[in-house]
Structure 1
């Protein structure tokens, strides 16, 4: 039996949730281009689409947003558990522990099949957990959810205690929508494998969070921020980038394992950041660096098809909204919760336990 290390290229499931075409630069959520959703809808609307198969009507959206806000309050017992975790615990481990604890406490630890309300509850709760824990570790008082703010704006508000700039909310919302789903990646597969045993949603989400924690999957775009910090000004951009390429160094945020043309997620984020450049100089620097870098890559590496990936503009957005680097991967996780839970609901609807084979390469006695 021939083996395929890492299962690369092996089809593990059929899905109606998303489609990734790396050659054409397409990312589709349930029949809609993700970049168009990111530019034209709210995070809640895009989440509703993935969970329900259609965009919400006006009344549906009002009811859905009310449900979302109702799940932002952390139970006292969960806060107590978070409070007892060692200060040195990294945020991804905190999230994994918190979701596990909530799954054990809410009475659904044996629930099968998982319900859409659980998907909404865990997703709404995760960003609140991040903000609560972050302020705790910074020695700051917790901030209660703002009743008038939508999901992304409320996340920024609970981190800082200040009403966020509308430009920052728009940019981060675009990022959240583009990060919420991306096919059968490692963390999504991990969650589906656990759920396929008819385990509960919390256990499956813990598996997904554990996979996202690994630097080969959920590695944050902090190196892109470092690069932009090094470049510092528009005037230095071409000189710095040319020196990097001349010395054989990689440009962080360019090239992608799947996309052989422009990453559609990067395209949408570019449109947003270009439109907001006048409101934040960091966006202006990022758009210039991208333009110069793509031209230089064509010059130094002709035929390699190296274009901007989502990490480049994710870094620009996260840096612009003053997101601490320690929260880059947790913030990615807060967005991806929508895709994970959508996959778990889909897995339950047509479940078959995953049971791949392995090839024995050891010795045989006799």
Structure 2
């Protein structure tokens, strides 16, 4: 029997798997375009529902369309009674991403199994924050907080988690983060959703699979290291000394550098500008802003030419800490926003569908 030479490239890196009109990610130039708009401008000037309309339908909404979508999302927030019953029976040690994967799989949506519809996409997107909030409060032994139809998507999520009206600065910060993480090209979870959809399976299965991919730490891992760093620094007066000491010891600064973006992460730039506009409204956001400013200068001093800038996880951590989300809700909150992108890709896949059927290179032994 003879050996087969192992290929040098795996993981499909650099392989084009589909045409899409939803987003453009250019890591070399630091560009993120959503349906023909700069993601940064969308995050700074538009609401979550407006950008969701853009991602799903290809255009920003009129005032009437915006109000209609807000109403649709609000009307779909309630969970079916059978889903709530299952939620209450799940073991306490089950992690939140596994809970999401399991409960999304229980959804029975109106309409045909194939092709998927926009109404189905809206229904799934609306219900995911409710699952997160209900599970979080059940684990804490607290009463469930029903959704409020008069609140926006992000405002309602924060309200259901705490049972109290959220601070406007927190809503604004989390909404900007949610817009910037809503869609990001052909990543692992999006590819998973499109592969499942290409078999003409239903949208619920596609999103359940995407959640499974997001659960992996190499894709949807929580930025806990950034929070630990910010908590160790403690206040703005300690920033320079702490960072300089860390760099002198050869330690890595968490939240700096990105696998895709070789220059500034455009999502980080948008969050930096938005958080800068909220100066004085939250101490954690203020601290993150000062850390980013001094860290970039010191990184250039210690590692000239490396072009190490903040990634989206840096400001995501600051925002999660400011709105008092525990670490176990970081990836689920990311999922809350990315569901819009996933469902948009499922809808796009159905428009010109062809089943994904890639080849593999056999590297085992063959008989003589």
After the TM superposition, list the runs of 4 or more consecutive aligned residues in structure 1 that deviate by more than 2 angstroms. Answer: 1-4, 105-108
Which runs of no fewer than 5 residues in structure 1 stay unpaired? none
How many Å apart are 1:301 and its aligned residue? 1.5
- For 1:359, the equivalent position in structure 2 comes to 361
Match of 1:11 among 9, 16, 24: 16
Which runs of no fewer than 5 residues in structure 2 stay unpaired? 1-5
Match of 2:104 among 99, 119, 135: 99
Provide the TM-score with structure 1 as the length reference: 0.97
How many Å apart are 1:3 and its aligned residue? 6.0
Alignment of 1:179-328 (within 5 A): 179-328=181-330
- SS of aligned partner of 2:33: strand
1:20 maps to 2:22? no
Alignment of 1:165-180 (within 5 A): 165-180=167-182
How many Å apart are 1:134 and its aligned residue? 0.4
Cα deviation per residue 1:299-349 (whole Å; 9 max; x = unaligned)?
Answer: 121121111100000111111111111100000000100000000000111
How many Å apart are 1:261 and its aligned residue? 1.2
- For 2:58, the equivalent position in structure 1 comes to 53
**2:71, 2:149 within 8 Å by CA — same for their partners in 1?**
no
Question: In the aligned structure 2, how far is the partner of 1:212 from the partner of 1:277?
Answer: 32
- SS of aligned partner of 1:6: coil
- For 1:33, the equivalent position in structure 2 comes to 38
Provide the TM-score with structure 2 as the length reference: 0.97
**1:3, 1:359 within 8 Å by CA — same for their partners in 2?**
no
**1:263, 1:309 within 8 Å by CA — same for their partners in 2?**
yes
Alignment of 1:116-155 (within 5 A): 116-155=118-157
- SS of aligned partner of 2:25: strand
How many Å apart are 1:222 and its aligned residue? 1.2
Question: In the aligned structure 1, how far is the partner of 2:365 from the partner of 2:68?
Answer: 62
**1:255, 1:306 within 8 Å by CA — same for their partners in 2?**
yes
Question: In the aligned structure 2, how far is the partner of 1:107 from the partner of 1:282?
Answer: 43
